[in-house]
Structure 1
Amino acid sequence: MKGTDELDELVVYGARGTAELLIADLQEARKGRVRLRALVDDVNNGFQHPRLGVPVISSLRRREDFPNVPVLVSMSDVAVRTRIAMQLSDEDATLATVSPVGPGALASHPQIGVGSFFFSGTRIGPNIRTGVGVQVLGTLVAHDVTIGDFSNIGADASVYGHVEIADHVNIAPSAIVGNGSPGKPLKIGSGAILGVGAVVTRDVPAGARMVGNPAMTTQEWKQLRKLLSESSN
């Protein structure tokens, strides 16, 4: 899988709201220096985008017309972004990598994986490493944090210090992942889902779905609600 953060021009995979959000942020952060060439949508294409003024094309058309232009995969859905990025890699496409450029971010020298995107307003602390295809739209990634391949950190979410996030994790908007400690990081297992506004203060098993404050698995919340219902009768 190959990528670049030298983005004079760009094709964006996705033609809906998230794509427009990422494009607007990228253009503002880079002062309009990135030329958007096309949007890719394999379901609905063959027209000019009404707001962005560029063609919406199929992936086949991208390969024919823009084979050497870096591609930004905009989808927030972890499974969809993984599938498309792997498809593009098989086609030998170059994935666009967008490093953080917000206040203090560049001084931290984060290690950003191929095809990852950081929202320009995200504050980044020292010792941050990501795998490939990560999308970070959150408010804060504090320090000593690793983020696995194709994981997603939603808008206004915060990740504090000494945290290890495995592959294919989805952290929903406004969730908070609390601090681990040196030598004992807080761990979010592969494929876990943290719901909107969840407040995580302990390790999360692989594949778990966590909700609430403090965050519990959906099964634990069901059991708690059952106990509360029984106690009120």
Structure 2
Amino acid sequence: MRLLRAELSKLVSLPSVWTAFAVGLLVPSVIAYLNASSMRGRNAQAAGLDVGFEELGFGVIAAIILGVVAVSSEYATEGEESAGGRQITASLTAAPSRGGFLLAKIGAVALAAAVMSAVATAATLGAVAFALADAAPPMGEEVPRMLGVVVYWVLTALLASAITLLTRNGIVPLAVLILNTSVVSVTFLLSKVTPLASYLPDMAGARMITSRIHSSVEMPPVVGGLVMAAWVAALLAVGAAVFLRRDA
């Protein structure tokens, strides 16, 4: 618990983490409100089936930022002397073991992502309900997908952390993951070439939050979540193995 509290404290002290929270809260809720407002006067119950949830799928960028900076900040340098300026040196000195430190880091990322996604989900669906008024889908019916959003964001944050463990630098994971999420989805394009791409983590995990997945592969939300979780577990295992073996 001491290590977990220390890792949570480090996350709170990072400006980029607060930026991620702001992005995760504001971007999906504002866009969802605008989209829902444009549906007034139409069959919003049908047209707005995924409104809010699609925006939350885009807002997962915040979880990516969180997962990357939680790890890359340990390797950030201050000044010109890289070895003396890295946080990882102090972190491993204070921790009783590398394994304990890594577990605390993963736990902190998961907790922070869960809180972030829960707040973002409440704000986004609240904005949709306000915009659509009586035409909004009953909130009680959306509970499974709301939980799916939380799971999707947490797994995405852990996936980003696992990749950053391997690279020890945040630039590549941020660029690749954000580009794939917001600009050009490489995995979606691959799914048009081979159905196997539907089992990649982001494509599978998205089944938990939206019904509009254009793919030849049928996959229930629970199965999609399990596929994504398996990817995350495998990458975390590889990242942990590399982290425990190489020099800080």
Q: If the length of structure 2 is used for normalisation, what is the TM-score?
A: 0.22
Which structure is higher in RCO with an 8 Å CA cutoff and minimum separation 6? 2
**Greater strand proportion:** 1
**Greater helix proportion:** 2
Q: If the length of structure 1 is used for normalisation, what is the TM-score?
A: 0.23
